[in-house]
Amino acid sequence: MQKSSRLAACFERLRAEGRAGLFPFVTAGDPDLAFTRKLLPALARAGADGFELGVPFSDPLADGPTIQRASARALEAGTRLKDVLALVGDARRELPEAPIVLMTYYNPVIAFGEKNFAREAARAGADGVIVPDLPPEEGGPLLEAMRDFPLDAVFMLAPTSGRSRAEIVNRAGSGFIYYVGQMGVTGARDSLDAGLRGALEELRPIKNRPVLVGFGIKTPEQAADVGGYAEGVIVGSALIDAMEKEAGRAAKIEAASRYIGSLRKALEQSAAARPGGAGRSS
């Protein structure tokens, strides 16, 4: 069941426009929270449809070196879960409609308290939660805590997930399905998994909500390719790579905006080139 009105409205708009959505992953507090407060609206102006906002964690087992470095910088700056929730509240002043989905590991949620976390995340204006180290079979306490709030629980599928696994994730989650496009940890790749399109086509008759693909997407061409058969793409490591090449803060935001703008342009051109537009259904 879709719970977040912002996510539902976003996917409805994307369907009407006939294109896939663009959802950057941003590590909150990298290099500090003041920078992230400026970065999010800049990326929205550049073409981002929504955000996956990462809560920095000391043992990010699903993340590769790039996002590990971003988490380390954020933690070094003192960023904690309560600060990320405050950031979401601040961001809502400039981003009243863009979906913001928190990505966090389960340990910080347990330390914060599941009910407290769900209440404060919803109060801040978050739309959903991704917890990579929490499978749906063990997600009962958090799902119960989130039940009374407009928060979607987003679970992940990977290339190794079979039909039964896909059915469990589809039944337990809401909002969208996060499909891991490459085996292993996060990180930009020069090529996509050759079986990605086929895997998503097999998932189509099972799912009842949009599928966003993350892990590995690097270039506008890759984003356009994936956007042809998924409802959206999530790009994190390549975005951080672009910012790491610049020294100054203004230059980092400018580089990030250029990169997101290039992906958005590719997604729009790809959708326009397809007969009748993308015309995808979720």
Terminal CA-CA length for the chain: 13
**Residue among 6, 9, 43, 5 at smallest CA distance from 26:** 43
- Kindly name the residue from 30, 49, 52, 231 that is annotated as catalytic: 52
Contact present, 106 and 80 (Cβ < 8 Å): no
- Kindly name the residue from 30, 49, 63, 127 that is annotated as catalytic: 63
Q: Residue type at 68?
A: Q
> Environment class of residue 61 by beta-carbon count within 10 Å: exposed (0-12), middle (13-18) or buried (19+)?
exposed
Partners of 130 in the β-ladder? 103, 154
Contact present, 168 and 135 (Cβ < 8 Å): no
- State the Cα–Cα distance between residues 98 and 49, nearest whole angstrom: 6
Contact present, 210 and 190 (Cβ < 8 Å): no
63 an active-site residue?
yes
The backbone region for 219, taken as left when phi is positive above 0, alpha when psi lies in -120 to 50, beta otherwise, is beta
- State the Cα–Cα distance between residues 45 and 222, nearest whole angstrom: 22
254 an active-site residue?
no
Positions annotated as catalytic residues are 52, 63
